[in-house]
Amino acid sequence: MERLLEYFVPEKYKLNLLIDKHKKTIGGEVIVYGEAKNEVVKFHAVELEITDVLVNGKEMDFKADGKILEIKNVPLGEIEISISYHGKLNENMQGAYLSTYEYEGKTETIVATQFESHYAREAFPCVDEPAAKAKFELTIAVPKESNDVVLANMPELKLSSAPRPAGPSPRAAGAMSRAAALRNTPSQALASDDDYKTISFEPTPRMSTYLLAWVIGKFHSHTIKNKHGVEITTYCALNQDVQSVDFANEIAARALEFYDDNFGLPYPLKKLDQIALPDFEAGAMENWGLVTYRESMMLVSPDATLGTKKSVALTVSHELSHQWFGDLVTMAWWDDLWLNESFASVMEYYATDYIHPEYKIFESFFTGDCYAALMRDAYKGVQSVHQEVKSPEEIATLFDGAIVYAKGARLMLMLIRLMGWENFCKGIREYFAKYKYQNTVGDDLWEALKPFAEFDPKKLMHAFIDEPGYPVITNESGDFDKFSQQRFLLDGPCEKGEWPIPKVTEDMSGHYVLNLTDEEFNERLKDFDKLGLEEKLRLLIDRDLISKAGLQSAASLIPLSRQFTDENLAAVWNKVAALISNLTIYVDEDSPEEKQLKKHTLKLVDKKLTEVGMKTGDHDDENQIRLRANLMALDYYAEDEARFKELSSWYNEDYQKMDPEIRDDILSAKIYLEPKMVDEYLKKYQEISDPDVKFDYLMAATLVRDEKELDKVLTLLNDTEVVKPQDQLHLFVALYRNPKSRKKVFDWMTENWDKIKETGGEKTLGDFPMVIGRLARTEEELKKFYDFFEPIKADPTLTRAVEIGENEIRARISLIQKNQKEVFEALQKA
């Protein structure tokens, strides 16, 4: 792929922008200082109308095709390029985009940005590549009457610290007012216009274009200062309770302190702003000094659950670790995206564990991210953590959560544990000191860590990062003193493969599965209580995967699950639930076998759930709350009507009067017994602004089994006024999970594919085949999948997801054929 940095190396951008949310326009003057390496220079400029280009004050001919702006006959060396342009503010959650919410009967509009990975080019012409680091001086004019707040990476430039907004050079200024006069192009000239107010920001440090950000709108906020003197302000929309920013503020304060202490370099900027946006494609974005979040990933109201607090703590910690790893030091190219994400995805656990040790957050890592990585990484065609990128469209496909994030984090954890935390931090400190404000590749990190490791980090990490997959390890003698390995696969027999594993351990550190013989397995099971938590989890997770691969019998999971009826650890129950979920693929809906599996499940949880009780107790600790949630989820699967009756008697129209920890259980039980509640739930969904509570109502509505009622939920897929495009995928997944709506929701997807492409954003497009691949299990579903996706899979945002999805469904079908009879027999005995 062509790199524009080879033509021109930018040093500094002066952006004088006029952003008018009412007219849905953005435009102005971009003045770029830098070095021309070629007499042709090129800028990324997607769907921007370029009106004028001047080089060193001289008008130039140019060509713009809606993707690239090309300027010819440019003098080599240091030059100043001034580009006048205008563009549109869209609603697809990338580039500079519009986001809306309702407040006091009025629609409020926000302008926000999402530039990662390659969307800065949709907002202004630039060399939009991570290695093209430059300083940015930003000036934004907005309509005065809207009375909006304008936030950006840096603090507002105060008049006392500079004479006037750092204006363009006289040469460019002359050119600009001419351009403005000629075409009425919004520009600095408008700063004095009565209709607009102009805000300038302090210059940024050297940074990549994808980290630039601004947000314009009305918000409320709280500000705190952490122990190291950094001022942190967290904002939310006016329809949200301002108290709900306090948790994220507090986490941010503590996380920055943690990173300051461990990374050896204090947080590099003067302030940190965080803001929750009503429309947001991903979970959050680490823009330097102005971190943006999806509301559900940042807000913690008094009605939030422990689970929400944990996920917000992780998300905030993740984004803030990027302020160093990603923002201060950045990957040179997108193939090393994992450098950013693997690091942030493991650091979020270390920081959260430091701030809230009582969360026992690493347990969530092992049962969550780590398990997801093991599942995904076991299919043919899965991407490697380090992945070549050949076209801009491919950049969007890199963000595979289970690989670049989760598997990457698992590998970093393996490395950190082998090195020891202190030694790891010593290496990291050298890395930051050496590469701050610059770009790196993976090997720069391994070299920095090497002096502090007793092994070669480069050799170990390359083996796991450059190739997909992981080994299944078979014991040859002693406790894995000698072992053999093969690549573990869920969609075919194991293949040849070898990884340089320094030491096999039975905790959760290593990215591999252990293929224990029945004898070895039973020996460990006998002394289960004496095992450490991680050994317990490995035993269950590995057995789960091994049975999915067909290496051990699936039927054996039934007697195995019975071993845990007295278990007290929430994390173990989480894995018991995974065993049951493994078995659900074998039983058809409403079949006698399904009834048997449900009966078996009820028998598993009944005793413990009676003991724990369904209501949150005053003295419940974190484990107890999670334990109850895991038991209740199994109990829901078991269709335990007696408990449903009790739960639904606790339903209250005022959601604040329900126990937040079991709010979703109450809502699910109620709608199970009373399908007509759909109307009320959907009404609540629209009325309530708390993102957590809203979501609970919507998800509960998708569980209804009455087809007429279910159709009311299905129609919401077409109503983006009610269910925002950012939530469409979640709704789709929930409806695909419900066997009663599975067919209909698949048809909806095929009929509305063009619209989904338009509104959903390209990063989530591949999630549709991915989700279906995870759940479909019949020949008919496979055929529909194939018929629809095969003809369109040349689209690089879909190719990999479609191929793996197909493999996954095929593997599941053959597993069912192979094991079904045996599972049925075991169920009869259960």
Q: Which residues bind Zn ion (CB under 5 A)?
A: 341, 344
Neighbour-count burial of 688, counting CB atoms closer than 10 A to its CB (0-12 exposed, 13-18 middle, 19+ buried): middle
Minimum distance between the CB of residue 465 and Zn ion, rounded to whole angstroms? 17
Identity of the residue numbered 704: V
**CA-CA distance, 52 to 59, in Å (whole number)?**
7
Q: What are phi and psi of 219, to 5 degrees?
A: -145, 165
Count CB neighbours of 34 within 10 A. 21
Q: What share of the chain is helix, strand, coil (3-state, %, to 5)?
A: 50, 20, 30
Minimum distance between the CB of residue 245 and Zn ion, rounded to whole angstroms? Answer: 21
Between 350 and 681, CB nearer to Zn ion = 350
Nearer to Zn ion, 324 or 685 (CB): 324
Nearer to Zn ion, 344 or 460 (CB): 344
Nearer to Zn ion, 401 or 769 (CB): 401
Q: Cα-flanking dihedrals φ and ψ of residue 217, to 5°?
A: 165, -170
Report the residue number, 273 or 341, with the smaller CB distance to Zn ion: 341
Residue whose CB is less far from Zn ion, 292 or 547: 292
Return the number of the residue (341 or 400) whose C-beta is nearest Zn ion. Answer: 341
The helix (run of H) or strand (run of E) holding residue 697 is: helix 691-701
- Pick from 302, 106, 324, 75: nearest CA to 205: 324
Nearest distance from residue 613's CB to Zn ion, in Å? 39
Output 341 or 661, the one with its CB closest to Zn ion. Answer: 341
Give the number of other CB atoms < 10 A from CB of residue 646.
14
Strand-by-strand arrangement of the 25-36 sheet: 58-59, 49-55, 77-88, 25-36, 8-20, 135-143, 196-200
Q: Where are the alpha helices (DSSP H) in 527-621?
A: 533-548, 557-561, 570-584, 592-612
Cβ-based nearer residue to Zn ion, 130 or 805: 130
Among the listed residues 746, 551, 689, 829, the one whose alpha carbon sits nearest the alpha carbon of residue 108: 689
Nearest CA among 152, 170, 155 for reference residue 96 = 152
Contact present, 608 and 566 (Cβ < 8 Å) = yes
Overall size of the chain counted in residues: 830
Backbone torsions φ then ψ of 654, nearest 5 degrees: -90, 105
If the CB atoms of residues 341 and 369 are measured against Zn ion, the closer one turns out to be: 341
Q: Which residue is nearest to Zn ion (CB)?
A: 344
Rounded to whole angstroms, how far apart are CA atoms 218 and 585?
A: 49
Considering beta carbons, is residue 344 or 827 the nearer one to Zn ion?
344
| Catalytic annotation, residues | 319
- C-alpha distances in Å from residue 721, one per residue of 101, 240, 727, 734, 761: 10, 18, 11, 19, 17
Instruction: Give the bridge partners for 201, in sequence order.
Output: 156
Q: Which residue has the tokens 């049951």?
A: 580
d(CA 237, CA 248): 15
Helix pair 408-419, 421-435: axis angle to 10 deg: 110
Q: Roughly how many angstroms between the first and final C-alpha of the chain, as a whole number?
A: 59
Strand partners, 138: 15
Of 815, 816, 350, 327, residue with least CA distance to 593:
816
Output the smallest distance, CB 344 to Zn ion, in A: 4
Look up residue 228 and give its DSSP letter.
Answer: T
Q: Least distance (Å) from Zn ion to the CB of residue 295? A: 18
List Cβ<8 Å contacts ≥24 apart for 179-184: 179/29, 179/51, 179/52, 179/84, 183/51, 183/52, 183/84
* Residues paired with residue 737 on neighbouring β-strands, in sequence order: none
- In the complex, the smallest distance separating the C-beta of residue 284 from Zn ion, rounded to whole angstroms, is 8
The distance between the two most distant Cα atoms of the chain, rounded to a whole number of Å, is 88
- Specify whether the CB–CB gap between 220 and 238 falls below 8 A: yes
Q: Which two tokens stand for residue 12?
A: 């500094």
Pick 344 or 514: Cβ nearer Zn ion: 344
Contact 793, 802 (CB under 8 A): yes
The Cα 368–Cα 347 span in angstroms is 15
The one-character DSSP state at 164 is: S
* SS3 at position 150: strand
Cα–Cα distances in Å, from 489 out to 104, 471, 542, 606, 802? Answer: 55, 9, 13, 35, 18
- DSSP secondary structure letter of residue 126: B
Task: Determine how many CB atoms are found less than 10 A away from the CB of residue 653.
Answer: 8
Give whichever of 257 and 286 is closer to Zn ion, judged by the CB atom.
286
Q: Is 507 exposed, middle or buried (0-12, 13-18, 19+ CB in 10 A)?
A: middle
